[in-house]
Amino acid sequence: MPSKCILILLDGLGDRAYVNLGHKTPLQAAETPNLDRLARLGSNGLFHGKRQGLALPSEEAHFALFGYRQEEFPGRGILEAQGAGIPVSPDDVAVLAHFVSVTEKNGVLVLKKDRPEASGEEIDQLLNALSPFETDGIEVSFVQTRNLDGIIVIKGGTSPHVTDSDPLQEGMPLIEIQPLNSTRTDPEAQATSRALKKFLLDCYTKLKGHRVNSNRQMRKKCPINALATQRPGRLRPVDSFHRRWGLRGLSISSGLIYWGLCNFLGMEVLKAHDSIDPGKDLADRIELACSHLRGFDFVHVHTKAPDSAAHTKNPHVKRDVIESLDRGLGSVLNTLLDDPELLLVITSDHSTPSSGPLIHSGEPVPITVVGTGVRRDGIERFDEINCAGGALGFVTGADFMPMVLNFLDRTKLRGLMDTPEDQPYWPGLRKPFSLE
């Protein structure tokens, strides 16, 4: 049986069926001879991090896939802060934030344009206008991560349990910052919501009259005059990936959220960067994964390309990106299949619809497992429909890592206790029997 695992994660691969693709999904419509070859060589099924119908963000889908419970999740804001290398303490709250264009209407701020186009010089001038803010002993500051995006760091008697202000839909009012129902009487949640609102109002006051926006108005461009926030988070203790599963983990990925998440779980991270050729990017990352198998037992190879293509809301674009990824996979596939010690898993984290208002949707995604000893179920195509008839059935996030341990001959027989902690892997981190 294999001793190492490479997980190839095609972000946002799943989709819905479209009339202009002959009532097929982009994956069904794509020519994918290499993914189909893998389907024929292994066991297939459908995967969802939680349960069918739930639209998961990438960070929560990955968190579940790596075998962690929702109550252990620290929040996306803190993970992106870690991915960006922003210093945060265990008591700090980090909130995702980005520049938007708003207009005043009936005493509220209405989202006019999300992430309006802006030059680097304009962004720099607006950033300089946002000085750190303090109120009631709470410090609030905005740290840019990329272009119009950044992290708001809140220090001093704070709580992450407050609502978003981002409505995610142009023409809708920004949302009032409030404590969550579960913490509505918590003084720290109340103080955090007040401080964050005051900071956002202060930013609006400074930005709306800024000379950058005066110049934009003369050029008939919408102002960049507010920040919208979502998904606060705070660090919390959690088992490392190695402690929980007995596997040395590595992530080869692009994007702050994946770097931050894997760092939070104690995995090593090799930071990749995207080019205009997603197929070559994937091939390069797979080759890098193969070269690191000596030092790691589990390698996460990630590409954001299908998800990004779906956000264009053009299913043909996503189909073409999938075909590019398949060509990239084909250039390294024989190397993968020639290694008898390798377990290869191909799946996605969630579905991303190429049409409609949803960011992500709740349909499950295909999963294929290939390796020595893995059952071959006769499935001929890798897609959302064909894989549903495979031997793996319906795989959830709670199933995924135990399944990997099983295929690696690392799963522990229930009832054995080779360590004081009932870990799921075998052999455990044992203490040798002493003659003393």
Domain ends where: 183, 202, 233? 233
On whether the CB atoms of residues 173 and 109 are closer than 8 A, the answer is yes
Evaluate if residue 108 carries a pLDDT over 90: yes
What mean pLDDT comes out for the span 329-346? 98
Residue span of the structural domain in which 301 resides: 4-72+238-407
Bridge partners, 43 (sequence order): 369
Do 397 and 248 belong together in one domain? yes
Domain ends where: 233, 248, 267? 233
Phi then psi dihedrals of residue 64, to 5 deg? -70, -40
Is 331 within a domain? yes
Quick check: helix, strand or coil at residue 84?
A: coil
Is 251 within a domain? yes
Evaluate if residue 377 carries a pLDDT over 90: yes
Is 434 within a domain? no
Could you give the CA distance from residue 31 to residue 79 in angstroms, rounded to a whole number? 36
Q: Which residue has the higher pLDDT, 132 or 203?
A: 203
Q: Which string of b and e fits 397-414 if b means at least 16 CB within 10 Å?
A: bebbbbbbbebbebbbee
Going 380 to 386 to 391 to 392, the CA torsion angle's sign is positive
Do 371 and 289 belong together in one domain? yes
Instruction: Count the Cβ atoms, other than its own, within 10 Å of residue 305.
Output: 25
Instruction: Count the Cβ atoms, other than its own, within 10 Å of residue 19.
Output: 9
Do 162 and 223 belong together in one domain? yes
Evaluate if residue 193 carries a pLDDT over 90: yes
Do 251 and 223 belong together in one domain? no
Is 422 within a domain? no
Could you give the CA distance from residue 2 to residue 407 in angstroms, rounded to a whole number? 7
Do 202 and 282 belong together in one domain? no
What is the CB-side half-sphere exposure of residue 238 using CA atoms within 13 A?
26
Of the pLDDT bands very low, low, confident and very high (cuts 50, 70, 90), residue 429 is: confident
Quick check: helix, strand or coil at residue 199?
A: helix
Could you give the CA distance from residue 247 to residue 401 in angstroms, rounded to a whole number? 10
Question: Which letter does DSSP use for residue 224 in this model?
Answer: -
Do 103 and 154 belong together in one domain? yes
Percent above pLDDT 70 for the chain: 100
Question: Which letter does DSSP use for residue 107 in this model?
Answer: T
Is 425 within a domain? no
Do 150 and 174 belong together in one domain? yes
Instruction: Count the Cβ atoms, other than its own, within 10 Å of residue 434.
Output: 5
User: What pLDDT does 374 receive?
Assistant: 98
Do 145 and 278 belong together in one domain? no
Q: What's the number of domains the chain is made of?
A: 2
Do 376 and 281 belong together in one domain? yes
Do 268 and 385 belong together in one domain? yes
What mean pLDDT comes out for the span 248-272? 98
Question: Which letter does DSSP use for residue 431 in this model?
Answer: P
Is 426 within a domain? no
Could you give the CA distance from residue 224 to residue 333 in angstroms, rounded to a whole number? 47
Domain ends where: 233, 251, 275? 233
Supply the CATH number for residue 248's domain.
3.40.720.10
Do 198 and 346 belong together in one domain? no
User: What pLDDT does 238 receive?
Assistant: 97
Is 254 within a domain? yes
Output the average pLDDT for the chain.
Answer: 97
Is 376 within a domain? yes
Do 102 and 64 belong together in one domain? no
Could you give the CA distance from residue 187 to residue 136 in angstroms, rounded to a whole number? 12
